[in-house]
Amino acid sequence: MNEPGLLVELENVSVPGSPWFDVGLSDVSFRLRPGDWIAVRLEPGATHCPLADAISGLIPVEQGRLRYLGKAWEEVSSREADRMRSTLGRVFEQTNWISNLDIDENILLSQRYHTQRPESEIREEADRLARNFGFDQLPGIRPAHLTTSDLVRLSWVRALLGSPRLLLLERPARECTPIWRDRLMTEVAAACARGAAALWLTDDPATWAGLQHKAVLLFALNDSTMTPVPKP
């Protein structure tokens, strides 16, 4: 029987390595409940792992059980899977922007498609998040005209917009100074306090040091195996 309120459940999940990932997953088990924050330390040179894709239902698991919102991805319709993914906020390992849309159009796209929220309300929230991360407002220019650091911080806006139930953050602080990394940690902590859950992957020692004091659970991913790490 599924635990009421459980957001994510992985039970002995394995995903094989592939040309698209630096490392696979072997016999991984953990649960995420509302308010939980898990940090995963990645090995240098093995930063692209399939964990977020598997939780999002974008790739199948080879063995084990993976459920999001109490449901297995392979058991739901494409329409239901689309609805479930609309509750995810994600910072991708490689920032994904539609090049022929302005940044504000990129960021607002999901909320426009998945919700009935007024445009003014969505934009007001996005502008507030953008200001928190160093912008006067949400930029209305093409991604190609922004720096890598700008695009990374704007990917945080996209991930946090709409109060997602689960945040999947793949090395989200790369290319950013500590002040912005710490600002993101504050926003993630606030989201978890409101009932979201978060999964933050990092290979950066300074980021890991900060996460050790904020995340509820700590893991290290080594050679496809996730091992619990004691909190300091």
Digit-coded pLDDT (tens) for 118-168: 999 999 999 999 999 999 999 999 999 999 999 999 999 999 999 999 999
Q: What whole-number distance in Å separates Cα of residue 208 and Cα of residue 60?
A: 29
- Whether 157 is in a domain gets the answer no
Instruction: Pick the closest to residue 6 from 134, 133, 166 (CA basis).
Output: 166
Mean pLDDT of 89-100: 92
Tokens of 1: 């029987």
Q: Is residue 88 part of a domain?
A: yes
Structure-model confidence comparison of residues 44 and 36, the more confident one: 36
Q: Is residue 177 part of a domain?
A: yes
C-alpha span between 207 and 215 (Å, rounded): 12
Residue 202 binned pLDDT confidence (cut-offs 50, 70, 90): very high
Residue 53 domain-assigned (yes or no): yes
Mean pLDDT of the chain: 95
Decide if 123 is inside a domain: no
Between CA 231 and CA 104 the distance in angstroms is 39
> Is 18 inside any structural domain?
yes
Cα separation, 122 vs 110, in Å, equals 10
Question: To 5 degrees, how large is the angle CA 57–CA 129–CA 153?
Answer: 65
Per-residue pLDDT reduced to its tens digit, 60-87: 999 999 999 999 999 999 999 999 999 9
Q: How many CB atoms lie within 10 A of CB 192?
A: 19
Residue 2: pLDDT band by 50, 70, 90 thresholds? low
Provide the pLDDT for residue 56. Answer: 98
Question: What CATH number is attached to the domain comprising 74?
Answer: 3.40.50.300
Percent share of the chain, pLDDT over 70: 99
Q: Which of 15-19, 74-78, 103-107 has the lowest mean pLDDT?
A: 15-19
CB 55 within 8 A of CB 68: yes
Helix axes 103-114, 119-132, angle to 10 degrees: 130
Rounded to two decimals, the pTM is 0.95
Determine the pLDDT at residue 18: 85
For helices 119-132 and 178-193, give the axis angle rounded to 10 degrees: 130
Please report the pLDDT score of residue 1 as a whole number: 47
128 found inside a domain: no
Is the pLDDT at 19 greater than 90, yes or no? Answer: no
Domain that holds residue 221: 8-95+165-228
pLDDT of residue 5: 84
Q: Is residue 125 part of a domain?
A: no
DSSP-derived secondary structure for 103-116: HHHHHHHHHHHH--
Overall number of domains in the chain: 1
Helix locations, 5-69, DSSP H: 51-55
Sorting pLDDT into bands at 50, 70 and 90, what band is 195?
Answer: very high
